[in-house]
Amino acid sequence: MSLNNLTITKALECLDKKEFSSVELTQECQKAMDAHKDLNCFITDTPERALNDAKASDERRATGKSIGKLDGIPMAIKDLFCTKGIQTTAGSNILKGFVPEYESTVTQKMWDAGAVCLGKVSCDEFAMGSANITSAYGDVINPWKHKNDPSKKLVPGGSSGGSSAAVAAGLCLGATGTDTGGSIRQPAALTGICGVKPTYGRASRWGTVAFASSLDQAGVFARSVSDCALFLETICGHDEKDSTSANMNVPEWSKMITGDVQKDIKGMKIGIPKEYKIDGIRPETQKIWDQGVAWLKEQGAQIVDISLPHTQYALPAYYILAPAEASSNLARYDGLRYGYRAPDPKNLDDMYERTRGTGFGEEVKARIMVGTYVLSAGYYDAYYIKAQRLRRLIYNDFVNAFKQCDAILTPATPGAAFSKDEKSKDPLDMYLEDVFTVSANIAGIPGMSVPAGLTDNGLPLGLQILGAHWDE
């Protein structure tokens, strides 16, 4: 196996044994980045920074002073995390050329742990999308090919599609993502890798460009569960700069993975929610779900039927709450303080209108309009307040469900990766891509997507595992 396709865990083992250097590992990733520019994963690459990071890591290892759990590992950063001295765009023209003077808490923790910065990867504009086709910097392409039509360009999922595609294609060993309604778990499933969204508050949101503040949560992509555990424990922890950051110790999840699957799973109660057996679920998805249940039974788990009665309201509630928060968060992009400003404005109003009208893409403008509408005086009670009440009911559903089971197993997505043309003309069809994932964000619980198998067309499908609060 080429170096750039190693797991983080294996690469760290090899670096410790000096089987290769961080510079060599980084260079292999950079070669892969050059060879797969057609995937359009990176918005900004940082080749000099990467090699300098790698050299510094090799020097530390040579003197026995390795500084952290990711020392020497080449990583990609979703272009939603502010990085000091490196352009941060959130996939939008309105932030093109914006270079932060500060570092997000998540990325700072990575650099403190010795990670190597390969650059910033693409995302749907302001994380609004399920296919990575709304970025101002072009569509990201899924590295997986349709067996019967290899020329078809498939989406990698979104909004963290650049992150998932980069990991799946071997351009990096791991990548950060954010998950507002499934934006880590859904792309992980469509690209055949692992992705974790921790409990809301586990990882700091400070320095991360906001979409919907009460739903956004940073998380990770990697090629194995062990890698995700190690990566996640690196970026999590209390941050005084984030008022929603939980002041809780971070478990060493990587040490909890014993390798003895039956020992770990035997006796666990796994919940199967009846409401997730939706009309229109594809036979291949149902087959994988059934297979996942069978695997768990074989390892000694007890399967429990559970009910999440307000599941049917999760998606509509989400598409009221998220746009409402987005309309408020994105009000700051006015052309005055940073980012894009429309040239030669006639007056202040003209500057605002043209800056936001040309700086934002169509999807972002649509969600701002929806959010502004549901927050308006005449509709606030009818829409926003009702959605908040539904949010509490959905939260209660999960609290009650976890009194009956230890974890919940569901599909991660309705189906496998699709082409842009299949769904881009129907927004509702695209929004349904998140039907299995949004509930976890509304309730604030942790969720993970793991590869579970392939369709008849050779495309990956994932299963989603949900846990109770703080039970990653």
Which residues are marked as active site?
A: 78, 159, 183
CA 21/CA 140 separation, integer angstroms: 30
Helix 225-235 and helix 8-16: axis angle, to 10°? 80
Tokens of 177: 């993502």
Q: HSE of 211 in the Cβ direction (CA atoms, 13 Å)? A: 33
Q: What are phi and psi of 463, to 5 degrees?
A: -110, 145
CA 246/CA 332 separation, integer angstroms: 26
The alpha carbon of 282 is separated from its chain's Cα centroid by a whole number of angstroms, namely 24
Tokens of 29: 């990733």
Q: Contact 450/465 with Cβ under 8 angstroms?
A: yes
Residue closest to 333 by CA, chosen among 37, 94, 136? 94
Q: Is 133 helix (H, G, I), strand (E, B) or coil?
A: coil
CA 4/CA 171 separation, integer angstroms: 7
Neighbours of 50 (CB within 10 A): 24
Number of H helices, E strands in the chain: 16, 11
Residue closest to 423 by CA, chosen among 126, 115, 92, 139? 139
Tokens of 6: 């190693």
Within the chain, what is the greatest distance between any pair of CA atoms? 71
Neighbours of 109 (CB within 10 A): 20
The residue type found at 291 is Q
Q: Contact 77/83 with Cβ under 8 angstroms?
A: yes
- Residue 80 backbone class (left: φ over 0; alpha: ψ -120 to 50; beta: rest): alpha
Tokens of 238: 């209390």
318 forms beta bridges with: none
